[in-house]
Every structure is written in C-alpha cells, then in structure tokens.
A and B are shown apart, each in its own frame.
Chain A
Amino acid sequence: MHEAIWIIPLAPLVGAYINGKLAALYARRGRGPSEKLIAAIGVVAPLVSFVVACSVFLHFRGLEGAERMVIVDLFPWIVSGNLNIGFSLMIDSLSMLMVLVVTGIGTVIHIYSVGYMHGDRGFARYFAYLNLFMFSMLMLVMGKNLLILFVGWEGVGLCSYLLIGFWYKDLANAAAGKKAFIVNRIGDFAFLIGMFVLFVATSRMGEGTLDFVALRAMVSEHPQAFAATATAAGILLFIGACGKSAQIPLFVWLPDAMAGPTPVSALIHAATMVTAGVYMVTRLSFLYLQSDVAMAVVATVGAFTALFAATIGICQRDIKKVLAYSTISQLGYMFAALGVGAFSAGIFHLMTHAFFKACLFLGSGSVIHAMSGEQDMFKMGALGKKMKITALTFIIAAVAIAGVPPLAGFFSKDEILLYTFTSHLQPLGMVLWGLLFIGAGITAFYVFRAVFLTFFGERRYTDEVAHHVHESPLSMTIPLILLAVGSIFAGFLGVPGVLGGSNHLHHYLEPSIGLLAAHGDDVSHAVAAGHASQSAEVTLMVLSVLAGLLGIFVAYILYIRRPDRPAQLTMKLGRLYHLVYNKYFVDEAYDAMIVKPGYLISNRFLFNLVDVKIIDSIVNTIGVGTRLMGSLFRLLQTGVVRTYAFFFLIGILYVIYKMVG
C-alpha cells in the first residue's frame, strides 16, 4: 500500500479535473449538477489522500529513523546534458508530517467550504481550484528534488492567484490575485537562481543534481566544500521563501490576499501554502547549516518580520487583516527558529499554527457569514451570545496563539524563544529573542483585541443586521470544533524535557534534519539543541507566559473596561498611529519607487522614443529605396494576384523540371 504514495497528490488532481469540467459545462449551459455531487467529489478527493497518508504513517510507526522513507520514481522528467530530473516523489519523516497537516486540515477546510460557499455561482469552480491547490501543495511537500518542489511551489502560487481573484467581477480582487502572483514571481526569480547555483556547484564536484537525497549525501560527504555555495544558494532560495511565506520585504501581497473566500485564507494563506518556505528551508537544513551567514539572514529577517507585522496587526479594523498580519508575524517566528538551527521547533510551530490559525480564520469566516459580509470589527460586538460555538472555538485558538499553557501555541512558541536565546550566534540571538519576546506580548494583545471587539462588549450594528445573526450550520461548526481540539492538544507532541515531556516531534523529525547521521551528528545537534540550564529555561518560559498574559490584560482594559480609551490613545499618538495604521506605507513606497517609474520608462522612453522614434525612423529612411519601393508596390497592388501567382508557379515548375530532369 505504501508504495502507492502517488495516489496522495493524484486524488485531488482527479477531483480538480472532474469539478473543473463540471464548472465549465455549468458555465456554458447555465445549469449543472447539484451542489451535493460537486461537494462530494471535492471533499472525497482530499479525504482519500488523507487516508492513504495515514496508512503510510502507520507503516512508518514500526520503523526506525532513516528507514522511514518511501521513494517513488514515476518517470524521467527533464533530461538534458548532465541534467537529469526525475518526476519522483518521496515521503520521509518531515514530508510525512507535512502531508498529514496538509491533507488533514485540508479535508476539514473542504468540509467547511461546503457550508460557506453554499449557493455561490462558482461552487464547482471553487472546489476545482481548491482541489488543484491540494495537488500542488502535496507535490511541493512530496517532491524528491528541488524542481518537483518548484512545480508545487508555482502550482500553489497559481491556485492562490485564482482563488484570491475568485470573485473576479470585483477588479480589486483580481488585482490582489495578480499582485500575489507577481510578488511571488520576484521571489521565484531568486529561487531559480538559487537552484542554478546549487546545480552548477554540484556539477563541478562531479554530478550535477537537485535531488534532495543525493544533495544531502554530497554535502554530508564534504561539508566544508559547500560553505560558499550554501551562503549563496541559501540566501537566494530564502528570498524565494520570503515571497511565498510573506516575509520582509515581499510580504505585501498577503494582506491583499484576504480578498479571497475565507476558507481559502485559512487553508492557503494561513495553514499550508505560506508555510512552504519554512518547509523548503527545513528540507535543505543540511545545506543551511553549512553557512552561518545564510542562517543569520534567515533568523534576522524572520524575527524582524515577526515584530513588524505584529505591530501592524494592532491597528487593523478588518478582522481578516488582523489575522493576515498575524500570519506574517507567526511565519516570522518559524523562520527565526530555522535560522538559529532549531528546525524541528520551526516545524512544530508550523503544525500548531496550522491548527489555531485555521481555526481563527474559519471562526472569522463564520462571523462574516453571520454578519452578511461585514468584516469591520468596529461594527460587530457582543456576538458571543448569539454564536456560542464560534466564539468558544475562536477564544480557544486565541489563547493558543497567545502562548498560554497548556495550549498548543505555548509549547511551540516557547521552544522558539528558548533556542533563539541560547543560539550560538551571539549577540544576535539575544537581540532576536528580544524582538520575539516583545512580539509575543503584542500577539496576545492584538488577537484578544479581536476577540473582545467581536464577541464581547456592546453591540455596534443595526437591528436589521442583528436579525440575521445566527450560528453557522454544522458543516461549518464541526470543522471549528475539530480545529479547536487540535489547538488544545497539538502542543503535547512537543512537551520539552524540563516539563517532564520527551519532545516526540523533535525525535520524529530528526532523521530528516541536518547532515546524514553517519557524518555530522555533532554539527546539527550542537546548533539545534542550544543548551541552557534548567533554571534559565524555566525563567524564559515564565517570562514569555507573562508577556502573553500582559497582552491579554491590556486588551481587556482597553476594549472591555475602558472602551473610550483606544480612541483617545489614537489621538494622542497621532502620527505614529497614522504610520502603523497605513502599514508603514510600504505599498505606497513600492508603487512610487518601482511600479510607476517602471511603467513610465517603458512607455515614454523604450516604446515611444526608442522603438517608434529612433529605430523606426532609421528604417524608414534607409536607402533611397523607401519611396521608390512604395510606388513599385502600388503598381503590384493594382495587378491581379493570379498573375503573380502564375509567374511564381512558372519559376517553381522550372525548378522542379531541372530537378527531375
């Protein structure tokens, strides 16, 4: 059974194809199959993947470390010169975890979508795109080489583009989709170059390859020889990750991406696609470990993004935008972990985040659904009474992200903070810890600000809206409950030793991370484990919990006890508030510095001056013949085509005659 891992990506592809056909037929004929059929196909496809993934997982249970590996070479894909790229899939411990997260949470979100998208004209199209996304994402995490990973990488980008612009009649949505694709392409540009660097470097050492297994073996064999390559390729590939995972300076597309349907935001723009960069860096951990520079870049960008995005999250009015900036910030935490060598901590946070952030997004979707599309939190309030399940699950997820023990976010975030603090890259590690620590407090604040504004306090909407407010259907609340349960318990997979746990997840991932065990145990572990005394570890833990609680408390004071204060504060802070509220004007800066000048130069200078005025005038004045030929051609034009064709034919006949004769 476990050799059939190709079923995992194939099932959603088949689903996408069938629903795509149905969508196209529906669009043409104006009527089509029932939503039930479409939903059944759409939900069963990822479910099949999930079941197969579980069977592989069970198969893995009996195996030791490096034996947990299934490889399927389907067919040679691109072969030319010394380039030999196979269409090959692989599942090892790391991929296993990713596949389970993607298919598990993916299936849940597909179920939620059935209720959320009910009655939409594009119902079939929606599920086709969503299944296509599952296919691409699974290719990404199961690819055995960088190029198959890139297939998924671009594929998820395409699906993201299609789904952000799902309601394409509103040009703003379509523009947001396009922006996402293009910003990602800028990252992909660096990603491509990074691949080239790796390939050329390995070619020089004998065998050019982009295969993860082969690369890891090569790097393990000669770690020192890869130092320069690791820096160059590592940074370039990370720029690609900055695009996909919305890190500074390429994060600008993610907030706009909230234009898509909310389940899409949950699945693609929170739980799975945006974590692709984290997965990719972890997948290449053996390479990154060879370059302190590349690692420092990853950690620094991650930590700065974590704090930067969190501050923007404070001022947003739109509930989805709060969650979007929160996602950017949380991804920053993951990268910070990777950068200090705590790869399993990064993946741990990726997993817990997938639960609680998907839960938050779906919860916000449930609210938006009930409020007939309203997303401004300042027009909500007191929804908790009417939407008990939504409110409860949302609060559970909020507590989890705030880092309150014993919920999921506490364990994973705490591990990240610990490892940055004890990183061997000092004093950088301390600085990063400081940023992340402040970020933790702010995270708790903005997420509880959202909780209080949405579910508590006074009602700030009209009676008419109030009339419609209702708890969402079961197809939506059951996924919420499932994800909330995950938000509570997922953390127990990684309970640290100091709290009496044994950090299962860390051990499970070990075989996939760092150099091959036979070669460089000491290197990977020294970096990853970063030792601190037990008392220091406990102190850090207490501090981060306190930061979270403080954030919650401040939010409570400002939005429940003294709801008049925020407005006064805004007034007081004036300019600063304005700056943060407008997201530091990054979009505007890009527009003024790159987009507009680029267009102007292309239009005024390149096209109208160089092409039309310079080159064409030269051509038009070339030789004396221009006008002459003009008149000559006029003569030709007055003739009958047949005459010319006839002469032409005579010539050809002569040629043939000579040839045969």
Chain B
Amino acid sequence: MDLISTVTFLPLFGAIVLMFFPREHEGASRVFSFLVTVVAFFLSLKLLYGFQTNADMQFVKDMPWIASLGISYKVGVDGISLFLVLLVTFTMPIAVLSSFRAITDRVKEFHVCMLLLETAMLGAFVSLDLFLFYVFWEMMLIPMYFLIGMWGGKRRIYETIKFFIFTMIGSLLMLVGILYVVFQFKAQTGTLTFDLFRLYDVQLSAQSQWLVFLAFALSFAIKVPMFPFHTWLPDAHVEAPTAASVILAGVLLKMGGYGFLRFAMPLFPEAALRGAPIIVALALIGIIYGALVAMVQKDVKKLVAYSSVSHLGFVMLGLFALNSIGVTGAIYQMLNHGLSTGALFLLVGIIYERRHTRLIEDFGGLTRVMPWFAVYFMIVTLSSIGLPLTNGFVGEFLILLGAFKANPMWGIVAAIGVVLGAIYMLWMYQRVFFGEITHAENENLKDLSGREIAVLAPIIALIFFMGIFPNPILRRMEPAVDKFIERVVEKRVARESQAGFEEFVVENDAGAGEVR
C-alpha cells in the first residue's frame, strides 16, 4: 500500500487485531493501542520528510472504487492537510497514554473506538473524493458517540443526544449538498464523478450555489463550532472522558475549518464571498461571546470549552479574511488550538483523576503541593493567551493582521478577544493555583507522575518550537494557501465575466478586501 493509505488504515488494522484480544488483559490492550498510534505517528513523519514545498497534492493515490457511480478512492496531502494529519497522529498517542489510568471499564472496547476514530479522522483529512470524505466524516461520529456515551460522565446520555442532533442535522444537509453538486456536474458535463478537483469546475446558478453553500456551511459551522451552534460543545466536553476531550478539541473541531477550506469555499466561491460578512460577524461574536462566557464558568473544563469557541472564532475570521496572511494564520491557529487546548484538557483530566471535581472553587493554592503541574499549566495558559515566543502568538498575530488588512474593524474587534483571553485564563489560574490551600483534601495531592510528564512534555516542546521557529511550517503551507486563495478569487473573477454575477461584485467588494 502507498504511504498515506498505510498511515490512514494502520489504526483500523490495529482495531481489528485488538478485537481478538482477550478481554481480561487490559494492560495488553492499552500497550497495543499505544504502540499502534506511535507507529502511525512515525510513519506520518515520512510524509513530512518526503513533502516537497509546492502547491500540489502529494502522495496521491487514485483508483476507482465504485466505478459505476463515479466514486474513487482518491487521497493525497498538500501543505494544508499535511500538518492536520500530523496533528492527528501526534495527538493520538498522547490521548491514548493519558487514558491509561482514567479508563478502567471496558478497556478493550475503548481502545477499539480510539483506533477507529484515528482512521476516520485521518481519512477525512486526506480524502480528495467527496463520497470518500463523507464516509470518513460519518465514520468519525460513531466512535465519538460511543466514547462520550459509554465512558462519559453523569449526564452523558443527554449530551450524546444533543451532540447527535447537532451533527446529524449538519451531516444530512451536507449529503444533500454533495449529491446536488454531483448531479449538476453530470448534467453539465455528462460525467458522474465525486472527484473533488473536477467538481471544483461545477457551474451553478447564483441561487442554487448559495443554497448548497449554506448546507455545507451549516454542517461545518456546527462542527467548528461557530456561534450560535456551539452549545453542544461545552456539554459534550464536560461529559466526555479526558482522552475523548483531547481528541474532540485537538482534532475533531478542526474538521469544520478544514471543511470550509477544502470544500465549501473552493466549490462555491461566489457564495462564500457573499456569505463572508455573515460568517465573519458570527466569528467575531464567537470570539467575544466565547471569551465572556468562559470568564463566568465555575467548571474548569467548561471554561476551556468556551475558550475553544473563542479561539475557533479566530480561525474562522482568518479564513474569511481571504488573504494569505489571514488564511495561513487560521491554519496555524488550528494546529495551535489543537495543542494548547488538548494540553489544557489533559491537565484538567490529571487534576480530575485526583480530586474527582473540576470546580474552580474546590481548588486554590495548588502551586505549593503540585509545583510541576503548576509550571506546565502556566506554560499552556501562556500559549493559550498568545504570549510571544509561544505558538499561540504566531497564529493570533497572523489572523489579526490578515483580518485588519481585509477590514480594520474586523481586526480591532477580534483583538478585544486577546484582552479577554488573558482575563479569563489568568483569573482561573489564580483561583486554582495561588493563595493558601483552602480545602484539606488538596493538602496531599501528588504532583505529576512520570507518565503524565511523558504525556505533556512533547506538547510543551512543540508550544515553544512553533512559537520560535514557525517558519518551517509556514513555508510549507504557503503555496497551498496561495492556491486556495487563487482558486476562490480567480474562479469568481472568471465567472464574473460570464455575467449574471454583477450583483455580488458590489456586495463582495467589502468582503474580498485585500485579495485583489
């Protein structure tokens, strides 16, 4: 098999093997699934090593799958998806390792779900065929339902349903949209195909393009999640076990942004530009709203969840700034958010395992008893609030600058979120770590164990590396980003000449900003 397919399906293969493990040998299940994810990670590094810095899709594997329906197995990575793939393979071993003590019930099944989830996520990032993408997209949901529904907290059933409703609505709309596009394309060219790059050339009337874009956008917006479709997220996080939260925040939420980037925007550029003001407005509301609501949370995990709403607002803002600085920043910020929020959930999980509470008021003064924990938490906090020389700053700065270039007001409003970010994070930190210990139960808390340090240290290292040397990553992204912008903008320009789109030209000038 080719490299991409090997990386993608290795976890699935691992899951199948794992199913035949005897149920009693919990330790063996844990170690096995950890090893599988580690091997997948090292294999994925070969992708990075062999990647050429240009705009092309690389490591492409294209073969017919269900030929009669024009469905093919087509995968590949460019400078955008490469790093998201690496984010998946990097996060998985960490998530698996973090669950070693937390998951004691149905251990084997848990790890099967985790491995299936990894394949699904990888598949979604590398798919270049709409049908294949949809299969992986749906395949992601199933293990996630189980992870929250079976290993989650007290209200997990309610939350699983909420999660289910939200994501199902989105998925179904997207499916309708996909089919519509495919059949329109067939009507125009006579070819039935799900190949994404060929479908990029589909010609749709303004009206239908707008409707299909909305279907895709809604599906992805729920996934991001954007205000006001975000309420499933805090609840899902609160109920989810740590490992699932790490994956949910670290990787799954990136699917929304990636969906816009790879599908919704290049497929329907005019509609994307028409919708840009709305999406930017929602992104800006999300940035401020998420931060303000995070500020008043009493549960640390919920606070982190709402901070995600704010951070992902930045990502969406950068994408729709539609200039290379903003889009690059958005992709970089997806990686950052995966690392820092993933790390925050790990840290919250570590303290939850010890105290079985996540309420801020149950802590205080932890620095004295858990100094290493306090240091790690501080570093991740600083990354989350975007301190220079941590990864968070690079992403935030690029997004804000890109947004400001597109429209100064966007940059200004979003920058308020940076101030609020410092407020809610440092206030939380202060209440958890500073002062005297006020609860006797906290007196004898154990500091980080060797395993916990092993879980966190790689993330900490990356936080600094990506903050000090962002350029090796930015450089590899740039050609793909430029191509994306070109596609969205040039396709629109090409079509404008075909008439029928004058109405948008006027409207879109505000949204397009510096693009031209």
Contact = CB atoms under 8 A, between A and B. Distances in A.
Contacts of B329: 80
Contacts of B499: none
Given A182-B426, A615-B228, A78 B157 contact: no
Interface string A598-629: 11011100110011000110011011011001
A169 B434 contact: yes
B400 A196 contact: yes
Contacts of B394: 78
Contacts of A641: 106, 109, 146, 150
B295 A602 contact: yes
Given A625-B165, A659-B73, A192 B65 contact: no
A611 B394 CA distance: 31
Interface in B273-328: 289, 292-293, 295-297, 323-325, 328
B415 interface: yes
A644 interface: yes
Contacts of A27: 371-372
Interface in B78-117: 106, 109, 112-113, 116
A623 B308 CA distance: 28
Interface residues of A, number: 75
A70 interface: no
A196 B73 contact: no
A155 B422 contact: no
Interface stretch (A246-254, A528-536, A556-564, A648-656): A648-656
A83 B325 contact: yes
Interface string B218-234: 00000000001001100
A174 B434 contact: yes
A175 B430 contact: yes
Interface stretch (B201-209, B346-354, B382-390, B501-509): B382-390
Contact of B478 (A80, A615, A652): A80
A186 B419 contact: yes
A610 B367 CA distance: 36
A606 B422 CA distance: 19
Contacts of B232: 619
B293 A168 contact: no
Contacts of A611: 231, 293
Contact of A24 (B9, B113, B375, B422): B375
Interface string A565-600: 000000000000000000000000000000000110
Interface in B460-480: 468-471, 474-475, 478
Contact of A619 (B149, B166, B426): B166
A185 B109 contact: no
A658 interface: yes
A154 interface: yes
Contacts of A655: 135
A78 B401 CA distance: 12
Nearest to B166: A619
A151 B434 contact: no
Interface string A143-170: 0000100110011001001000100111
A467 interface: no
A79 B475 CA distance: 7
A633 B408 CA distance: 48
B397 interface: yes
Nearest to B116: A648
B12 A189 contact: no
B231 A189 contact: no
Contact of B367 (A81, A168, A644): A168
A154 B112 CA distance: 45
Contacts of B365: 169
Contact of B165 (A147, A188, A603, A619): A619
- Residue picked from B109, B135, B434, B471, most chain A C-beta under 10 Å: B434
A615 B135 CA distance: 30
Nearest to B5: A659
A649 B16 contact: yes
Q: Is the interface of B mostly helix, strand, loop or mixed?
A: helix
B296 A602 contact: yes
A151 B161 contact: no
B155 to A, nearest CB: 13
B412 interface: yes
A185 B142 contact: no
A158 B382 CA distance: 9
Given A28-B371, A165-B434, A182-B422, A619 B162 contact: yes
Given A606-B289, A619-B162, A169 B436 contact: yes
The number of chain B residues touching the other chain, given as a range, is 35 or more
Contacts of A642: 19, 109
B16 to A, nearest CB: 7
B31 interface: no
A425 interface: no
Given A169-B434, A645-B112, A659-B73, A80 B324 contact: yes
Interface in A181-211: 181-182, 185-186, 188-189, 192-193, 196-197, 199-200, 203
Nearest to A172: B435
A652 B12 contact: yes
B133 interface: no
A171 B363 CA distance: 13
Nearest to B434: A174
Contacts of B478: 80-81
- Residue picked from B106, B382, B401, most chain A C-beta under 10 Å: B401
Given A625-B165, A649-B16, A199 B419 contact: no
A644 B426 CA distance: 44
Contacts of B398: 78, 80, 83
B422 A181 contact: yes
A75 B471 CA distance: 9
A637 B15 CA distance: 22
B411 A79 contact: no
Contacts of A171: 430, 434-436
A606 B297 CA distance: 12
B470 A78 contact: yes
Nearest to A616: B231
Interface in B356-401: 365, 367-368, 371-372, 375, 382, 387-389, 393-394, 397-398, 400-401
Contact of B469 (A28, A75, A192, A645): A75
A178 B426 contact: yes
A80 B157 contact: no
A629 B166 CA distance: 13
Contacts of B296: 599, 602-603, 606-607
- Residue picked from B15, B296, B447, most chain A C-beta under 10 Å: B296
Contacts of B12: 652
Interface of A: 24, 27-28, 75-83, 87, 147, 150-151, 154-155, 158, 161, 165, 168-171, 174-175, 178, 181-182, 185-186, 188-189, 192-193, 196-197, 199-200, 203, 598-599, 601-603, 606-607, 610-611, 615-616, 619-620, 622-623, 625-626, 629-630, 633-634, 636-637, 641-642, 644-645, 648-649, 652, 655-656, 658-659
Given A193-B415, A599-B296, 12 more contacts: A24-B372, A27-B371, A81-B402, A154-B393, A158-B387, A175-B430, A181-B422, A188-B419, A196-B408, A598-B292, A619-B165, A619-B231
Interface of B: 9, 12, 15-16, 19, 63, 65-66, 73, 106, 109, 112-113, 116, 135, 139, 142, 146, 149-150, 157, 160-162, 164-166, 169, 228, 231-232, 289, 292-293, 295-297, 323-325, 328-329, 365, 367-368, 371-372, 375, 382, 387-389, 393-394, 397-398, 400-402, 404-405, 408, 411-412, 415-416, 418-419, 422-423, 426-427, 430, 433-436, 447, 468-471, 474-475, 478
19 contacts: A77-B470, A80-B325, A80-B328, A80-B478, A87-B468, A155-B389, A169-B434, A181-B422, A196-B404, A599-B296, A602-B292, A606-B292, A606-B296, A633-B157, A633-B160, A642-B19, A645-B116, A648-B142, A649-B15
Give 9 closest A-B pairs by Cβ, nearest first.
A27-B371, A174-B434, A81-B324, A602-B292, A603-B296, A171-B435, A196-B404, A151-B388, A168-B434
